Homo-oligomer: A and B are copies of this chain.
Amino acid sequence: MVLEITSDSKNQELVRFGNYFLGILNDLKRRPEDAAKELNVSLEEIMDIINGRKEISSEIIIRAAKVWPVNLRDFYLMKDDCPDGIKIMRAEDSAKSSRIMERGGLPYYEYRDTAVSSISLFRPEWIEELCIVDDNDPNNPAVQWNNGHFMHQFTYFIGDVNYYYRGPDGQKKVAVMNTGDSVYGTPFRPHSFATRKNAKENGLILALTYGNQLAGDAQQELSVLGERLGMSYWLDFSSREKSFGSLLNFHRRCASLSFEEITKRTGIDKDRLIQFENGLEIPSFEIINSLAVSMNVNSRDLLPPDAIEDKVIVQYYKESPNWYYPESIKAYKIVELCHSKNLPFSKAFEFSILKNNDDELDLEVGLHQYAYNVGNENIQFNWRIENSVKHDDLKPGDSVYIKPNIPHSFRGGGKLMVLRIAGRIAGDAQRELSCLEQNDANRAISETSMWFDPQGKD
């Protein structure tokens, strides 16, 4: 029975790859016979791959990447390691992944993995602070700083933890954190953590690192372009005015428009345009709209960030807004943890569960989600995948990954720390999908047909 299920899902993967491979051929305007010729294999072999009867060999992949403008990576599909829509990691399994990291020759952190998936860019670690500090001095020599890292980091604090970081002018700072406090840290900002002396037990953090839009393909493209060409993408976002100026300049160069032509289209004279580009003035929304029209972009493409956020944002629990949700049934009391507008799709909360179990699935979010049971009670977790409603328990210390758009609910009692992130769709990709007709968006997700019908039709 197990063997059948295995070959069933293996078959499904072959069929999925076959559809996808057909898409590659369509994009390259190769019929199966053209592909067979260029890849030095039989037409039968190509059709077996397309129809999910046979796995593509690495020889064919290597040949394809040689003769076509495709990369080896294009032939390996993202794997779905949670076909049920969610993936739970138990506290016991987190404990089994324990590893002690030394710094400066002494045990400094105990790391434990928590719920992850091959689909999401979460790298969430439970970390115990083994270094005890006597004071809150940011220069305490016992504190071992890291170099900062590529991933964004949201941190939730449990217990008496000091967070060491650098302020805007580079000076070392310390945030004296307690349970429920939170921090957002921009990539590459060095930091450290330690437990304060006289704490009842070692401090803990949920160090929820994750990749966002710069990860994956984008990171690959930057790596191939290299520093010189890559850094030309970096815009000066040090103030709103400079952000607007850089964006306007970037779009003007993309459009190869002369100042004269922009003046002709907008009525705004060259001196004023240069003033904008030099970061000296942000004009009214009407003028921004007029500039956008002249450049064939949307106003939103020229708009600078609403605020220039600190690179490290510390938020105290007692200052965190809270409310009941949904407003009708008040199933949760939600505390809004640390946010940064630089990442509008990153959302962090503490959920207190208030309602006994029922059939209502009151949460559905277009973001990837991670949740960790930070309380003392079991939480009933209900979710729907395809047409089935499923149930499980999240015990204290359990964590779960939830796919985007899964209808779900939490019931019983207790407390969850929840982090939501963009993944690859929210933002530009979602808008592009939404510019398609609904039927066409459906095809974008499940494209199977060849791009033309060789029989011909009307």
Which residues of A from 90 to 109 have beta carbons under 8 Å from B? 99, 101-105
Given A146-B452, A224-B119: A297 touches B344 (CB 8 Å cut-off): yes
Q: Any chain B CB within 8 A of the CB of A31?
A: yes
Q: With a CB–CB cut-off of 8 A, which chain B residues contact A147? A: 449-453
Given A303-B303, A306-B293, A456-B105: A436 touches B186 (CB 8 Å cut-off): yes
The CA of A33 and the CA of B1, in the complex, are separated in Å by 39
Is there an interface contact between B76 and A253, defined as CB atoms closer than 8 Å? no
Q: Any chain B CB within 8 A of the CB of A151?
A: yes
Q: Quick one: which of B150, B186, B436 contacts A23, CB cutoff 8 A? A: B150
Is there an interface contact between A223 and B253, defined as CB atoms closer than 8 Å? no
Is there an interface contact between A364 and B451, defined as CB atoms closer than 8 Å? no
A260 nearest CB neighbor, chain B only? B327
Which residues of A from 364 to 408 have beta carbons under 8 Å from B? 364-367, 386, 403-406
Is there an interface contact between B16 and A223, defined as CB atoms closer than 8 Å? yes
Given A232-B404, A366-B232, A435-B237: A420 touches B254 (CB 8 Å cut-off): yes
Is there an interface contact between B69 and A118, defined as CB atoms closer than 8 Å? yes
Q: Quick one: which of B77, B293, B455 contacts A220, CB cutoff 8 A? A: B77
Q: With a CB–CB cut-off of 8 A, which chain B residues contact A243? A: 434
Q: With a CB–CB cut-off of 8 A, which chain B residues contact A79? A: 65, 71-72, 224
Stretch of A46-54, A175-183, A207-215 that contacts chain B: A207-215
A103 nearest CB neighbor, chain B only? B456
Q: Could you tell me the dominant secondary structure of chain A's interface residues?
A: loop
Is there an interface contact between A220 and B78, defined as CB atoms closer than 8 Å? yes
Is there an interface contact between A451 and B146, defined as CB atoms closer than 8 Å? yes
Q: Any chain B CB within 8 A of the CB of A334?
A: yes
Is there an interface contact between B300 and A432, defined as CB atoms closer than 8 Å? no
Which residues of A from 324 to 356 have beta carbons under 8 Å from B? 324-327, 332, 334, 336, 339, 341-345, 347, 349
Stretch of A155-163, A275-283, A422-430 that contacts chain B: A422-430
Q: With a CB–CB cut-off of 8 A, which chain B residues contact A364? A: 232, 253
Is there an interface contact between B306 and A292, defined as CB atoms closer than 8 Å? yes
Q: Any chain B CB within 8 A of the CB of A438?
A: yes
Is there an interface contact between B221 and A425, defined as CB atoms closer than 8 Å? yes
Interface string of A116-140 (1 = CB under 8 A from B): 1111101101000000000000010
Nearest CB in chain B: distance from A117 CB, A: 6
The CA of A29 and the CA of B305, in the complex, are separated in Å by 32
Chain copies in complex: 2
Given A253-B364, A256-B365, A303-B303: A321 touches B261 (CB 8 Å cut-off): yes
Is there an interface contact between A457 and B78, defined as CB atoms closer than 8 Å? no
Is there an interface contact between B303 and A101, defined as CB atoms closer than 8 Å? no
Is there an interface contact between B69 and A254, defined as CB atoms closer than 8 Å? no
Nearest CB in chain B: distance from A111 CB, A: 5
Q: Quick one: which of B234, B403, B438 contacts A441, CB cutoff 8 A? A: B234
The CA of A306 and the CA of B219, in the complex, are separated in Å by 30
Q: With a CB–CB cut-off of 8 A, which chain B residues contact A266? A: none
Which residues of A from 176 to 199 have beta carbons under 8 Å from B? 186-189
Q: With a CB–CB cut-off of 8 A, which chain B residues contact A309? A: 435
Is there an interface contact between B221 and A119, defined as CB atoms closer than 8 Å? yes
Is there an interface contact between A77 and B218, defined as CB atoms closer than 8 Å? no
Complex A-B, nearest 4 residue pairs according to Cβ-Cβ distance, in ascending order: A104-B456, A232-B405, A188-B440, A69-B116
List 21 contacting pairs A-B, 8 Å CB cutoff, sorted by A: A69-B117, A71-B79, A72-B76, A76-B76, A78-B221, A103-B452, A141-B458, A147-B453, A187-B440, A213-B428, A214-B433, A216-B217, A221-B425, A227-B442, A228-B386, A233-B405, A234-B438, A246-B434, A257-B325, A293-B306, A296-B347
Could you list 12 further interchain pairs (A-B, Cβ under 8 angstroms) beyond the known A29-B123, A147-B452?
A27-B150, A78-B223, A103-B454, A144-B456, A147-B450, A150-B443, A225-B404, A255-B336, A258-B325, A258-B327, A299-B306, A300-B303
